[in-house]
Structure 1
Amino acid sequence: MTNPVLEGLAKARRSAVHLELRDTYQPSDPEFIAWQNGKRLDPAADRSTWWRPFLDVVTETTARGVVIRRARVVSEPVTDYIRYEYDVTFPNVAAGELVRWLPRRKAADIGLPGSDLWMFDRESVLFTHFSGLGEVVDREWRTEPEVIRLVESAFESVWERATPHEEYELV
């Protein structure tokens, strides 16, 4: 089975944006559970101890000149899962992603899509649908111009207001 995000990144020519809207994802993820039990990634350690295969694709994609931006809309105070995401974001940045954080209260007047998504080259959107507990249920590709416009407007509004990862402080 292929990964649609990796497919989208492989085909991207100019841009890829990722909008994350949930406060908890896949609570059964073994890496999250290990983090809860005290495991921390060490940026000073051997890269192989914290580098993930997904980041090879990000590095290859950004090396082709594709700009990858990730924006996370989060409730404050943040959940343990968001603390985990924050803690493991430095590899994404090292791979070439631009990452920003926006407190949910600052997004109250932005028309946001109902699901997390990736948008590639402002031509296609991959929505990820989750269960209430944060497990992936389904993914759906959309290419209608009105969907692209909604996603582009929402993402750019979030991006404009959001704080770069290096400056964001968890609350």
Structure 2
Amino acid sequence: MYLLTADEQEQLFRRCRRAFHLEVQDSYTVADEAEALARFLESGEFEYDPEWRHWDDLVREVTESGRAVQRVRVVTEPHTDYTRFLYATTASNIDSGEEIRWLPRHVIDPDELTADDWWLFDDDTVAFTAFRPDETLGGFAVTKDPRISEYCRSVRNRVWSLATPHAEYRIKQ
């Protein structure tokens, strides 16, 4: 296993044919979301932050070339404030070409998930999201171990089949 920075992980996107992300946390500490999250919690309205354009542009670059970027967000119901915020931000991800689905945590046996978030690239490269003790992004722990890749593929297939597409999922207030 080796550690990649966020910039190095971007190169995996540019080289892959398919990228899948599993998110299993109910909240994240993301520095460039803090102000938008605070405004959202205060007003209930979402304002797109132009600093996020970098991610949207990367996804658009990948998806417009015919490659897939998919994500399943496993969420607790009732929803956390952060989940409501994520739901409000998802339109920009979708507009960039990302396919996003939502899976209520109670729908799946916890033993069928992983405790950590990860990306699966081309079915053979897993990049676990590594968080610092303060819950900020530390980087990505990457492996090509075929057993780990096989397990993550099986988790991906299971959660994707159970999850609800974004257009059909409703946030419960």
Using structure 1 for the length normalisation, give the TM-score: 0.86
- Tell whether the 8 Å contact from 1:16 to 1:68 is kept in structure 2 after alignment: yes
| Cα distance between partner residues in 2 of 1:158 and 1:117 | 13
Confirm or deny that 1:25 pairs with 2:28.
yes
Gaps of 5+ in 1: 43-47
Quick one: which of 5, 16, 19 aligns to 2:19? 16
Distance 1:109 1:33, change over 3 A: closer
What residue ranges of structure 2 are gaps of 5+ in the alignment? none
Shift of 1:6: 1.5
Counterpart CA distance in 1 for 2:14 and 2:168 is: 30
Q: Cα offset for 1:155?
A: 1.1
- Equivalent residue of 1:19, what SS? strand
- The answer to whether the 8 A contact 2:125-2:144 is kept is yes
What is the aligned residue count?
165
Counting aligned pairs with the same residue, the percent is 32
* Separation in structure 1 between the aligned mates of residue 148 and residue 66 of structure 2, nearest angstrom: 25
> Any idea what the Cα deviations from partners look like across 1:1-25, whole Å, max 9, x if unmatched?
652431211111x210010000000
Distance in 2 between the 1:58 and 1:4 partners? 15
For 1:129 and 1:50, locate their aligned partners in 2 and report how far apart those are by CA, in whole Å.
Answer: 22
Write the letter of the residue equivalent to 2:135: G
Counting only pairs closer than 5 Å after superposition, residues 20-169 of structure 1 correspond to structure 2 as: 20-26=23-29, 29-38=34-43, 39-41=45-47, 52-108=53-109, 111-130=112-131, 134-169=135-170
Q: Flag the 1:103–1:131 CA change in 2: closer, same or farther, 3 A.
A: farther
Question: Deviation of residue 135 (structure 1)?
Answer: 2.3
Cα deviation for residue 111 of structure 1 reads 1.9
Q: Shift of the alpha carbon at 1:170?
A: 1.0
The answer to whether the 8 A contact 1:21-1:73 is kept is yes
CA contact (8 A) 2:9 2:140 kept: no
